[in-house]
Amino acid sequence: MANPETPAANAPTTDPDRWAWPHSSAMNGQELDTFMARQALFCQRGAAPQDAERLADSLVNRDRDDDDRRLCLECRHLHGAGPYRCGNARAAGVHADLARGLVLILQRCHGYDDARLPMGVMVDAAPPTAAPATEPPRTPSGPSWRELDRAYLAHHQQCSVCQCAGRGYGQRCATGFELWAAYSNMNSDLKE
């Protein structure tokens, strides 16, 4: 017969975190949510799924141990999804072009302060509602590089969503994404 003072494990009033960290090595609810968000972010930033899972798991232990080392994949200054660039290389004391191996290891970074990405942030991704960007017309009547540049900058100046995206937080709005894609396509066409 069950002890009436001890509720059943599947009782709705039982706190699922009661038997998790710090009472055992199992992840509690907050750690699980953070783990999943990190894993998704790392995949989005170019890590293989198995590497993303391994790295997210190692960060659970890092957080529990109050370790001050960081991954470049956690930082808003990291650009690209392989090859990688550090947007704060001088403060970090590294070369701006980062090797993949460096991005995937825990390290102490002087440029990381206040650079942590919020969990669940999509980086350099198209908004789900945005239509695919069309290539700018190559006819003389099409917009010039300067016109595209001015249009994007005028929008960017007024749109806080696009301003945040430019800093590495979130995605551009649908209008900003279309302007950015047209501007970027024109820019890459000029380099060819």
With 0-12 CB in 10 A as exposed, 13-18 as middle and 19+ as buried, what is 31?
A: middle
Q: What is the pLDDT of residues 5-40, one digit of tens each?
A: 666 666 665 676 777 777 778 888 888 888 998 998
**Looking at the DSSP assignment, which residues form a beta bridge with residue 107?**
70
Return the closest-CA partner of residue 91 out of 65, 111, 72, 64: 111
Residue 167 in contact with residue 76, Cβ under 8 Å?
yes
For residue 130, what pLDDT is reported? 45
Residue 21 in contact with residue 28, Cβ under 8 Å?
yes
Q: What is the pLDDT of residues 104-149, one digit of tens each?
A: 899 888 877 656 665 545 454 444 444 444 554 444 455 676 777 7
pTM: 0.53
User: Can you tell me the distance from the alpha carbon of 33 to that of 115, in angstroms, rounded to the nearest whole number?
Assistant: 20
φ and ψ at residue 89, rounded to 5 degrees:
-60, -40
For residue 182, what pLDDT is reported? 77
Q: What is the pLDDT of residues 45-101, one digit of tens each?
A: 888 899 999 999 999 999 999 888 989 888 888 888 878 898 888 888 888 899 888
